[in-house]
Structure 1
């Protein structure tokens, strides 16, 4: 019964099985929209060659849930951090709980953490304090960082520059900024995560030429599902919820932007992700 549901949910035109296994480095599988059919979502992902998924933890509750999912399903791993939107909640108790989560074998990165000066659900000062504390946790644990940044590129680069010798690796996930910001991150030896944003002709056009500027050993791919449904899909998806099974469509777009085959792009991003997260 589950297998039939896997086949029926995605229209035939969206069932895309690439030749190489893929890694989705940012999947919000603890989101409530996955509560009713998570097992089928994971089966569809595996059928689409998305064999590894990093489940994003954005607060204590969701990071704990991400760890539980990683313990339950092979091929799933977790991150654990406090999103900048929730930075006002940061305190010593949360810091201790985060440090404990970072010791779990299923946790492969500190985050999602960072700065978001676009929406400022927490004040910039609160965001900087929480991010600084999580930079310290990353330095202490040796785990890489999974970073969120919106309209805060200069301050992000300043803070990372001060900590660069103390932390291991870091990826700016769902990168959407400009060329100067990209090169600033690459100069800091950071990795870049790209999403379906690049498939959006309304707001992602500036990213297309930048794909050629990112070394393949620094580039990774992600859905950031259930958000950012790609707009290059050949048919509409009922409900418009994004999921890991659609990652191959993002890889296809990136390959086109870079002028290489989908297989080469898929293999390169998978190898980079495996090395970055030490999988």
Structure 2
């Protein structure tokens, strides 16, 4: 049952673990990894890991929103580097808006200025449109509505909302726009994610681990590994009332189609 991990932070594993994951791909029945990046050094590390198995690891370059904003010089350096490596880049990502950071600040009674993060995201969306690349998005709850507006503004059709959570109204809007989502191992124990799977068209779903982010339930205490996506596929099949092989084939086809993999 071959599958693709559509969102993993391969560079966040220690070097030994990352290389072991790559070496285990065949044994794990994992066809490929979409390896996302968080900042310039992360992009460079992802590129280095990609060189180990260029036919199995596909690199996305970007700036994760749940961190301090880059200076203009840092941003320009990142953009220049990405511009030099567009031919090797499968997507712009991970980019988005800092929902969790913002809520932590606001819960502490402080004011959070979202505007510069929106401006940063717009910069990456402009580049994605210019380079004809899909975008890998960190955008949940009310932030997803802002992101949907921006996707429409820049005419971006290939949008991948990873580990998405949001209102039924936002889900409906994303479905109508044809945006893709990816499901993590928490579908085995989080009702919110199980409901999302029931509501979202199977043809717009992929699977991911977001490794090395740890999971609970049956995965508690385990290092997150791409092989976990097989349990995700089985759970999606059950929630959709379909056979596992059929579900696995559709999810694999979705990922190939979205990322235009050979």
Q: TM-score, normalised by structure 1?
A: 0.82
- CA distance in structure 1 between the aligned counterparts of 2:71 and 2:172, rounded to whole angstroms: 31
Gaps of 5+ in 1: 1-19
State the number of aligned residues.
250
Equivalent of 2:145, from 137, 154, 157?
154
2-structure distance, mates of 1:119, 1:183: 26
Which of residues 173, 192, 197 in structure 2 aligns to 1:211? 197
Say which SS state the counterpart of residue 112 (structure 1) adopts: strand
- Secondary structure of the 2:16 match is coil
- 1:268 and 1:277 map into 2 onto residues whose CA distance is 14
Q: Which residue of 1 aligns with 2:87?
A: 105
What does 1:192-203 align with in structure 2 at a 5 Å threshold? Answer: 192-200=181-189
Q: Quickly say closer, same or farther: Cα 1:86–1:210, change in 2 above 3 A.
A: closer
Contact 2:209–2:229 at 8 Å: present in 1 too?
yes
Residue 108 (structure 2) aligns with: none
Residues 193-222 of structure 1, C-alpha deviations (whole Å, 9 max, x = no match): 11122122xxx2023233233222211110
Asked if the contact 1:48–1:248 (Cα under 8 Å) also holds between the matched residues in 2, the reply is no
Cα RMSD, aligned residues only: 2.1
Q: Secondary structure at the match of 1:146?
A: strand
Kept in 2: contact 1:178–1:206 (CA 8 A)? no
How far apart in 2 are the matches of 1:274 and 1:99? 28
Sort the Cα spacing of 1:254 and 1:26 in 2 relative to 1 into closer, same or farther, 3 A.
same
Residue number in structure 1 paired with 2:31:
51
Tell me by how many angstroms 1:246 deviates. Answer: 1.6
Instruction: Tell me the equivalent position of 2:43.
Output: 63
Secondary structure, aligned partner of 2:165: coil
CA displacement 1:79-130 (0-9 Å, x = unmatched): 1011112361152552453354254433100010011223227841121011
Larger mean CA deviation between 148-157 and 76-85 belongs to 148-157
**Other structure's SS at 2:138 match:** strand
Task: Specify the alignment match of 2:109 in structure 1.
Answer: none
**What SS does the corresponding residue of 1:147 show, helix, strand or coil?**
strand
Distance change in 2, residues 1:30/1:119 (3 Å) = same
| Unaligned residue ranges in structure 2 (runs of 5+) | 106-111
Alignment partner, residue 15 of structure 2: 35
Report the counterpart of residue 177 of structure 1 in structure 2.
166
After TM superposition, the structure 1 stretch with the greater mean CA deviation from structure 2, 90-99 or 125-134, is: 90-99
Equivalent position of 1:78 in the other structure = 59
Q: How big is the shift at 1:178?
A: 3.2
Q: Hey, what's the Cα distance between the residues in 1 that align with 2:74 and 2:14?
A: 29
* 1:139 matches 2:129: yes
Runs of at least 4 residues of structure 1 off by over 4 A? Answer: none
The secondary structure found in structure 2 opposite 1:150 is coil
